Chain A
Amino acid sequence: MRSNPPARDGNDGTWGAWRAVFQRDLRIALRRRADTGSALVFFVIVVSLFPLGVGPQFELLRRMGPGVVWVAALLASMLALGRLFADDHADGTLEQLLLSPTPLPLLVLAKTAAHWLASGLLLVLVSPLLALQFDLGGAAGGVLFLSLLLGTPLLSLIGTIGAALTVGLRGAGVLLSLLVLPLCAPVLIFGAGAVEAAQAGLGVAAHFSLLGAMLLVALFLAPLAAAAALRIAVE
Chain B
Amino acid sequence: MSWTRYAAPQRFYPLAGRAVPWFAGLALLLTVLGLYIGLLLAPTDHQQGDAYRIIFIHVPAAWMSMVIYLAMAFWAAVGLVFNTRLASMLAIALAPTGAWMTFIALWTGALWGKPTWGTWWVWDARLTSELILLFLYIGYMSLHAAIDDERRADRAAAVLALVGVVNVPIIYFSVKWWNTLHQGASVSLTRAPSMATTMLWGMLVMALAFWMYSIAVALARTRVIILEREHNTRWARQVLGSA
Query: Chain A residues in contact with chain B, CB under 8 A?
Result: 161, 165-166, 169-171, 175, 178-179, 181-183, 185-186, 189, 225, 228-229, 232-233, 235
Give the 8 A-B residue pairs with the shortest CB-CB distance, closest first: A182-B135, A232-B155, A179-B139, A182-B132, A229-B159, A169-B146, A165-B156, A232-B156
The yes or no answer to B152 lying at the interface (CB within 8 A) is yes
The yes or no answer to B162 lying at the interface (CB within 8 A) is yes
User: Are B136 and A182 in touch, CB under 8 angstroms?
Assistant: yes
Proximity bits, B128-146, A CB within 8 Å = 1, else 0 = 1000100110110011001
Closest to B123 in A: A189
Main secondary structure of the interface of B (DSSP, over half): helix
A-B contacts, 28 of them at CB < 8 A, read: A161-B163, A165-B156, A165-B159, A165-B160, A166-B143, A169-B146, A175-B142, A175-B146, A178-B138, A178-B139, A179-B143, A179-B160, A181-B135, A182-B135, A182-B139, A182-B164, A183-B136, A185-B128, A186-B170, A189-B128, A225-B159, A225-B162, A225-B163, A228-B159, A232-B152, A232-B156, A233-B152, A235-B152
Contact of B143 among A165, A181, A182, A235 (CB under 8 A): A165
User: Are A183 and B163 in touch, CB under 8 angstroms?
Assistant: yes
Q: CA separation between A233 and B148, bound complex, in Å? A: 12
B contact residues around A185 at 8 Å (CB)? 128, 132
Across chains A and B, the number of contacting residue pairs, with CB separation under 8 Å, is 50
Proximity bits, B156-173, A CB within 8 Å = 1, else 0 = 100110111000001000
Number of interface residues of B (CB under 8 A): 19
A contact residues around B8 at 8 Å (CB)? none
The yes or no answer to B147 lying at the interface (CB within 8 A) is yes
User: Are B163 and A169 in touch, CB under 8 angstroms?
Assistant: no
Q: CA separation between A175 and B164, bound complex, in Å? A: 16
Q: CA separation between A49 and B139, bound complex, in Å? A: 29
From residue B153, how far is it (CB to closest CB) to chain A in Å? 9
A contact residues around B142 at 8 Å (CB)? 175, 178-179
Residues from 155 to 200 in B contacting A, C-beta threshold 8 Å: 155-156, 159-160, 162-164, 170
Q: CA separation between A178 and B136, bound complex, in Å? A: 9
Closest to A177 in B: B139
From residue A124, how far is it (CB to closest CB) to chain B in Å? 25
Proximity bits, B49-67, A CB within 8 Å = 1, else 0 = 0000000000000000000
A contact residues around B170 at 8 Å (CB)? 186
Q: CA separation between A161 and B132, bound complex, in Å? A: 17
From residue B124, how far is it (CB to closest CB) to chain A in Å? 12
Contact of A171 among B146, B160, B163 (CB under 8 A): B146
A contact residues around B138 at 8 Å (CB)? 178
Q: CA separation between A189 and B178, bound complex, in Å? A: 13
Proximity bits, B69-80, A CB within 8 Å = 1, else 0 = 000000000000
Residues from 101 to 137 in B contacting A, C-beta threshold 8 Å: 128, 132, 135-136
Beyond the given A171-B146, A178-B138, could you list 11 further A-B residue pairs with CB under 8 A, ordered by the A residue number? A165-B143, A169-B147, A170-B146, A175-B142, A182-B139, A183-B163, A186-B170, A225-B163, A229-B156, A229-B159, A233-B152
